[in-house]
Chains A and B, each alone.
Chain A
């Protein structure tokens, strides 16, 4: 029977990567003092499983590499080796190598042989082994015409579930012919017999069948210690048959294995997702509800004439349908939701490595790992988060000496947290470092020409400057932060996810970066607004309020810019029809409505002809179907089949600010 092992590869990779994550976090936990046997055991088990699986599924390079790691870990868990920093670092390094190897195999790319060799040498050095390639011993096997096997089991051989009959049967199957003689000499009197003990011994003559001595030993390998075994070659051994046949077999097997290894590399595309069974049950439950509603509604189709009473029932049914559809939709969305721990888990390692690089002492506190968000968002938020954490570590937290001088504890704290707020997920990166240096940022911004020389602005806007393209405050451009790709890329990436990032900072106490992300990229709660013939959609989440215009509150400033006084604030008015070049019903502000929206701490009032209603809309990407357009985040198809464009508020504000140049900023500055 041949079984295609490839079907198990996906599972193997998945669990191996999980295992590597477990090893990594376990290793990171090791250095913090006392030796935790359970932890070492867990790390060992992961390595062991990867080794076992990779061997079984034909990834011999991985199995070989893991072997030495496993040996080292085995020594650690047996207490033969102390947990030292260098051992932990080497093991962490080999986790990386292993991860790269597995990735390479899965994606069909080449394994980085140099790093594998380097790490192998490092581990072998710790183990005190020479870096020798373990040669496969090609033991010469003796085969004879026949054999005489003396088999004398100990009395307790059956206590391990072994069975002498099975052993003899197996021997029998090897040979062309077998003659079995039983010896009952040591059988006690019936009254003394323990029924669970074995008292007999056997002599088995095996004739023919090209049996080697090893074949016979193989049969008895499980009971080696439970019996006396003597094997003699039959006296009349005639034609000596060499081991060629076996070698041939081996030679055939080897290339076959290599083939499977190469073949596996294709299946990398199929990415899978693990879903909790309760979520699936929920789905099935909802579908059940939906079917009931559907059958209820279908009865109306058969109805001859409608009375007010049936219409009432029809309405009820439709309302039910709506609520079930919505619940079903939410349940389906939840299938794609994954805990943010998938993005968070790399940070202990990152912080560990970076704090060594920067010679800083850092404690990382992670909370809210269970917070769930969409898989796509989750995958894309990783890099911006890494950048922000690096930034906090590099620029935020001071050196231990500086911290002591400032009267703080030597160890800096970085807090990474995630939680739900409204329909959003909020991720915060908080450090207790020096905080952002307002003067430095401002002078840098002036130097770079981002703001004019005599510019005055509130603190938040100063801090916000770090997200501007071409801004970097690091005195020395370090390897980690400030490689030109800076905070502007972080902000852009987060915006692409429909989210926003802002920073708050207190000098001497630290900074907090707050990222707000939508729960999902696929669906949006939208406010439909009408402008002329067109319908646009504003994300409900960014709307603060909608109001009718009172002409006395409108102020025109600096030529074309208009602001609206709302209570104590002056908010720039954005005439959407101007920006998108369409014909409105009216250009008179008093005939329409203003929708006040906010993004990244900035507010604008969008002028629209009418508010049309709220509904959930499915977001279709403009980028994949057409091209990216500034100020728009996507499109959707409405119930009547028309297409409506979805406004990207942050993008729109940028667009507007570009139009108005610096005049808006100075107005806001003056108002504050």
Chain B
């Protein structure tokens, strides 16, 4: 089954994302900020990255930019969790290498649908 790295500084969001995906049979690893996520992504190969944008230590966009530079993450889908109001964040994220985004607020079904689409 596909492995997913879920990155969010908010514990409740992280729990929700992780619980939903695990329930659908995915293997989920959690990280609380971009730095932690980067370390985890380098030590283990993931099939999909889902990351929040606003986080302490290292934000989601910097994380994506860094990870996209890694050879084994060149084509791995990376999704950002973002709010509708942040239109320029989407563009910034795309420029950094994000595959797409999931707009907050979202419910578990929307999350699963998007993940299914990306992972095929």
CB-based contact B75/A158 at 8 Å: yes
Q: Name which of A8-16, A228-236, A296-304, A574-582 contacts chain B.
A: A8-16
Q: Does A222 contact B (CB under 8 A)?
A: yes
CB-based contact B117/A161 at 8 Å: no
Q: Which residues B67-120 have CB closer than 8 A to chain A?
A: 68, 74-78, 81, 83, 85, 91, 94, 97-101, 104-109, 112, 117-118, 120
**Chain B 45-80, CB within 8 Å of chain A: the 1/0 string?**
000000010111000000000001000001111100
In Å, the complex CA distance between A67 and B78 comes to 26
CB-based contact B9/A56 at 8 Å: no
Output the least CB separation between A608 and chain B (Å).
Answer: 54
In Å, the complex CA distance between A160 and B98 comes to 5
Output the least CB separation between B91 and chain A (Å).
Answer: 7
What chain A residues lie within 8 Å of B99 (beta carbons)?
A: 160-162, 222
Q: Does A145 contact B (CB under 8 A)?
A: no
**Chain A 43-68, CB within 8 Å of chain B: the 1/0 string?**
01100110111111100000100010
Cβ-defined partner of B91 (8 Å) among A7, A52, A169, A225: A225
Output the least CB separation between A255 and chain B (Å).
Answer: 15
Write the chain A residue with the least CB distance to B106. Answer: A56
CB-based contact B75/A161 at 8 Å: yes
CB-based contact B12/A11 at 8 Å: yes
A-B contact count (CB 8 A): 108
**Chain A 1-21, CB within 8 Å of chain B: the 1/0 string?**
111010111011011000000
Contacts A15-B11, A160-B94, A160-B99; A52 near B105 (Cβ below 8 A):
yes
In Å, the complex CA distance between A511 and B77 comes to 63
The secondary-structure label for the interface of chain A is helix
Output the least CB separation between B67 and chain A (Å).
Answer: 10
Q: Does A555 contact B (CB under 8 A)?
A: no
CB-based contact B10/A161 at 8 Å: no
Write the chain B residue with the least CB distance to A222. Answer: B100
Interface residues on A, range: 35 or more
In Å, the complex CA distance between A510 and B52 comes to 50
CB-based contact A44/B54 at 8 Å: yes
Cβ-defined partner of B12 (8 Å) among A12, A44, A161, A225: A12
What chain A residues lie within 8 Å of B98 (beta carbons)?
A: 160-161
What chain B residues lie within 8 Å of A657 (beta carbons)?
A: none
In Å, the complex CA distance between A221 and B100 comes to 8
Q: Does B20 contact A (CB under 8 A)?
A: yes
What chain A residues lie within 8 Å of B15 (beta carbons)?
A: 8, 11
Output the least CB separation between B68 and chain A (Å).
Answer: 8
In Å, the complex CA distance between A52 and B17 comes to 13
What chain B residues lie within 8 Å of A57 (beta carbons)?
A: 12, 16, 105
CB-based contact B104/A52 at 8 Å: yes
Write the chain B residue with the least CB distance to A44. Answer: B54
CB-based contact A166/B120 at 8 Å: yes
In Å, the complex CA distance between A12 and B81 comes to 17
Q: Does A42 contact B (CB under 8 A)?
A: yes
Write the chain B residue with the least CB distance to A38. Answer: B56
CB-based contact A51/B83 at 8 Å: yes
Write the chain B residue with the least CB distance to A221. Answer: B100
Q: Does A159 contact B (CB under 8 A)?
A: yes
Output the least CB separation between B57 and chain A (Å).
Answer: 11
Output the least CB separation between A63 and chain B (Å).
Answer: 7
Write the chain A residue with the least CB distance to B96. Answer: A160
Q: Which residues B21-43 have CB closer than 8 A to chain A?
A: 23-24
**Chain A 61-78, CB within 8 Å of chain B: the 1/0 string?**
001000100110000000
What chain A residues lie within 8 Å of B19 (beta carbons)?
A: 3, 7-8
A-B contact pairs, 19 of them (CB 8 A): A1-B112, A3-B20, A5-B16, A8-B15, A14-B11, A15-B11, A44-B54, A48-B83, A55-B83, A56-B105, A57-B16, A63-B105, A70-B85, A160-B78, A160-B98, A160-B99, A162-B99, A170-B117, A225-B91
5 cross-chain pairs, A with B, having the tightest CB-CB distances, nearest first: A55-B105, A222-B100, A161-B99, A12-B12, A11-B12
